[in-house]
Amino acid sequence: MQAERKRKADKERAEGAEIDAKVRADTDRKATIIRADAASASNIIRGCGEAQATGIFANALEQDPEFYSFQRSLESIKKILSTDTTVVMPVVGFGELFEQIRTGIDQATEIENGGPTGQASLGAQEGAKCAEVSAAWYLADDLNVDQPDLTFLSMEPEIWPDGSLGCAIDSGEFINEVPGFNVRFTYEGSSYDVRTDKYGSMLSIC
């Protein structure tokens, strides 16, 4: 009798160990996929943020070039002359240093804005990718599911009437129009639409 019970116990332990190994392997696989997707998404979203920042700087440059140059120069000096940094030079030398930094900022701005030696900032296609990635993570969080479980269906460019991305009560007038996308996904047989602005920094599910 003891031998029979031991045989059954050993069998159940073996089956339990096999199930445990399968569950752990599946969990590790999903975790690896999620981490890889998250790393890729973070790089894309970070690039989108930098593109938006460049656009904001470009707008500031157009409105007041001299103040923009002065402000960026101060920011650069703050980074160069960090805490506990000692600089020994005459006042005239410090002015020359500031002017050199300011000149460098102006040249960098020309490159950022697509000047003779530069290229234009993030294009529409890359902006769409930003919106798609942001929309996927936004919907996954809303549904409380893993982002890789969503299936991308389509993406259509839209002009939303306002910052609510068209989810607020329609006032009948288009005020402060927001260009963006309507991104559609499926999950377990149901389809979901996520509204975004151009770079996916504003999102909404109506």
3-state SS string for 1-33:
CHHHHHHHHHHHHHHHHHHHHHHHHHHHHHHHH
- The mean per-residue pLDDT over the stretch 71-89 comes to 66
Helices 124-143 and 2-63, packing angle to 10 deg: 140
Where is mean pLDDT largest: 13-17, 98-102, 141-145?
141-145
Q: Where are the domains of the chain?
A: 64-112, 123-204
pLDDT grade for 157, boundaries at 50, 70 and 90? very high
Q: Which residue has the higher pLDDT, 189 or 55?
A: 189
Is pLDDT at 186 greater than 90 in this prediction? yes
pLDDT of residue 120: 36
Query: Of how many residues is the chain composed?
Result: 206
Position 104 confidence tier, pLDDT thresholds 50, 70, 90: low
Q: What is the pLDDT of residue 152?
A: 93
- Give the predicted TM-score (pTM) of the model: 0.53
**At residue 75, does pLDDT exceed 50?**
yes
Structure tokens at 106: 């102006």
| Percentage of the chain lying above the pLDDT 90 cut | 19
